[in-house]
Amino acid sequence: MPTSDDISELSYEQARDELVRVVSALEQGSATLEESLALWERGEALARRCEEWLIGAKARLEKARSGHASGRVDVVDLPVDVAP
């Protein structure tokens, strides 16, 4: 499992997919208490990463909408997420 430092490098889709796996593992209930706590912490970090992406996406949409409403659309530098 990647470290928490690696979470900041994950795309939205990667973080979401791993979060789904973490939740599934927790729901199975077969992990030890220590493993469950580690999974929970990892899930919390993954959820925060997903939220960061969603907040960024919302800001981009709001910027595009405000530019459209004013008749002006700005081109901005945005990170390109290319998953293999």
pLDDT tens digits along 45-63: 999 999 999 999 999 999 9
Predicted local confidence at residue 54, as pLDDT: 97
> Given this model, what pLDDT does residue 67 score?
80
Q: What does the alpha-carbon distance between residue 29 and residue 49 come to, in Å, rounded to a whole number?
A: 25
Query: Quick check: 1 and 42 in contact, CB under 8 A?
Result: yes
Q: Residue range 1-29: average pLDDT? A: 90
Give the pLDDT mean for 17-28: 98
Q: How much is the average pLDDT of 6-17? A: 96
